Amino acid sequence: MIVMKFGGTSVGSGERIANVARITAQTTERTGTPPVVVLSAMSGVTDSLLRAARTAASGDGISFRTIRQELQAKHEQAIATCVTDPEHARGLRAEVSTLLNWLENICQSVQTLGELTPRGLDILSGLGERLCVRIAAAAMLSQGLKAQTVEATELIVTDSNFGNASPLFEETTARVRARLLPLIQAGIVPVVTGFIGATADGVPTTLGRGGSDYSATIIGRCLPADEVWVWTDVDGVMTADPRIVPEARTLPSISYAEMAELAFFGAKVLHPKTMQPVVQANIPLRVLNSSRPDHPGTLVGNEITELPAIKGITAIRDLSVVSVEGLGMLGVPGIAGRVFSAVARSGASILMITQSSSEQTITFVLRSVDTPAVVQAIDKEFELELMRGDIDQVHAQSNVAIIAVVDAGMPGKPGIAARVFSALADKGINILSIAQGSSAFNLSLVVNQADVDEGVRAIHKQFNLDQV
């Protein structure tokens, strides 16, 4: 049994959706069993939905109506291209219209209320996936496959952390098996919405931006599937983001742990949580190119392959370095604990921590959007110490980025760090801070945002990754 996920570009037009149906038909033929197909929204649609909701909340009554029209045109055009039966196409157009009317009505209410809660946003932001699965299932029928849409709100039971929900596996497993296995046994392709789920009470949630990859492995683990295939717009997992390093190479294989590091530090090709559900069951994950289905892509699994140098380089932008400094911190127990508790209370997560050996400074890296709330929380926690001068200041520097160099063999390979530093030094790039990342597989460097792309390219070149 295979679970296949197709991303936004892979369903970005009627032609691309017809291609998804072709790949599904081939997979059914080759494996003798219909795959479970998990889909993202058509490219750009989730962004448009978020914009519709946010502009409505700010009192704008025009933008969401314009967006509605654009979405209608986009989906109708796709239907015209990939759904051949006119009767079917007509029914589908009506369904799209009904769903978009619903969008418009909710946006109207949001505008009237002037308020948009994370819960409200999750109801709207999953609409792109709901539209897409309907069209794709119809395209499959047009190509002679049996297919049925399934809304993941029926399958994936989550907590109520709106915008970034986590699955509750026991309940989800029961539902996935009860709903999908009978379809597969009857030779029907289940076409499932990625990205969305619902709480046990049925309130819609989302798994976070780019979360359809995660939906696929959640379902893969619950079935359980033999493999999960993530179809995207590049040949697999590459040594760096090909948009930054054009000569980046596709890795034939990478371990779950290495992939998790790359994804956490910005390699958008897979959502950072994608590996979690499949690691324990050791379900192989493949990343494949939907435009070049014969390319072998990348296998993500338990095996760690030895390469001469490093697996990959990635970067995460729009960060800030926050430092808490002061002579009065010297040798005083509990300061770090109080700093990090204050950060946690503000709801932010920390990407990297460094402490100077003198114990006078605690430095950590956060997303810039989280920084004002964090600084405020720390100021409040240390009100007394700041007043007494035990702590000099809480300082935040924005416009920084982390470059992460990832390889599982790093602890046993001397000289990696030296080569990374010299590659950056040769370009005159200043390193603001260094940490051995979140695991021994990862060397993380903080640099000014303006230096990121050049830095990634310089490290890529230093390790000759274009010749892997």
Q: Which residues bind ligand ASP (CB under 6 A)?
A: 7-8, 40-41, 46, 128, 194-195, 209-212
Does residue number 7 form part of the binding site for Mg ion (CB under 5 A)? yes
CA-CA-CA-CA dihedral for 327, 330, 333, 334, to nearest 10: 40
Does residue number 7 form part of the binding site for ligand ADP (CB under 6 A)? yes
Pattern 267-306, ligand ADP, x by CB under 6 A: xxx-------------------------------------
Position 217, amino acid: T
**Closer residue to ligand ADP in complex, CB, 131/377:** 131
Residues 173-212, interacting with ligand ADP (CB under 6 A): 210
Closest approach of ligand ADP to the CB of residue 56, in Å: 26
Q: Is the peptide bond before 414 cis (omega within 30 degrees of 0)?
A: no
**Closer residue to ligand ADP in complex, CB, 8/197:** 8
Environment class of 144 (CB within 10 Å of its CB; exposed 0-12, middle 13-18, buried 19+): exposed
CB 342 within 8 A of CB 394: no
Residue 195 binding target from ligand ASP, ligand ADP, Mg ion, none, CB below 5 to 8 Å by type: ligand ASP
Within a 10 A sphere around the Cβ of 380, how many other Cβ atoms? 12
Does residue number 211 form part of the binding site for Mg ion (CB under 5 A)? no
Does residue number 277 form part of the binding site for Mg ion (CB under 5 A)? no
- Of the candidates 189, 186, 152, 150, the residue with the CA atom closest to the CA atom of residue 25: 189
User: b/e for 4-32, b at 16 or more Cβ within 10 A?
Assistant: bbbbbbbbbbbebbbbbbbbbbebbeeee
Does residue number 150 form part of the binding site for ligand ADP (CB under 6 A)? no
Does residue number 9 form part of the binding site for ligand ADP (CB under 6 A)? yes
Nearest-5° angle of CA 352, CA 357, CA 359? Answer: 85
Residue 237 binding target from ligand ADP, Mg ion, ligand ASP, none, CB below 5 to 8 Å by type: ligand ADP
Q: Starting from the edge strand earliest in sequence, which strands make up the sheet with 204-206, in order?
A: 157-158, 196-199, 204-206
What 3-state DSSP class applies to 350?
A: coil
**Closer residue to ligand ADP in complex, CB, 110/132:** 132
Tell me which of 2, 3, 4, 10 binds ligand ADP, using CB under 6 A. Answer: 10
Does residue number 128 form part of the binding site for Mg ion (CB under 5 A)? no
CB 400 within 8 A of CB 321: yes
CA gap 283, 221 in Å, rounded? 8
Residue 9 binding target from ligand ADP, Mg ion, ligand ASP, none, CB below 5 to 8 Å by type: ligand ADP
Closest approach of ligand ASP to the CB of residue 274, in Å: 10
Does residue number 34 form part of the binding site for Mg ion (CB under 5 A)? no
CA gap 261, 254 in Å, rounded? 11
Contact residues for ligand ADP, defined by CB under 6 A? 7-10, 40, 210, 232-234, 237-238, 240-243, 262, 267-269, 312
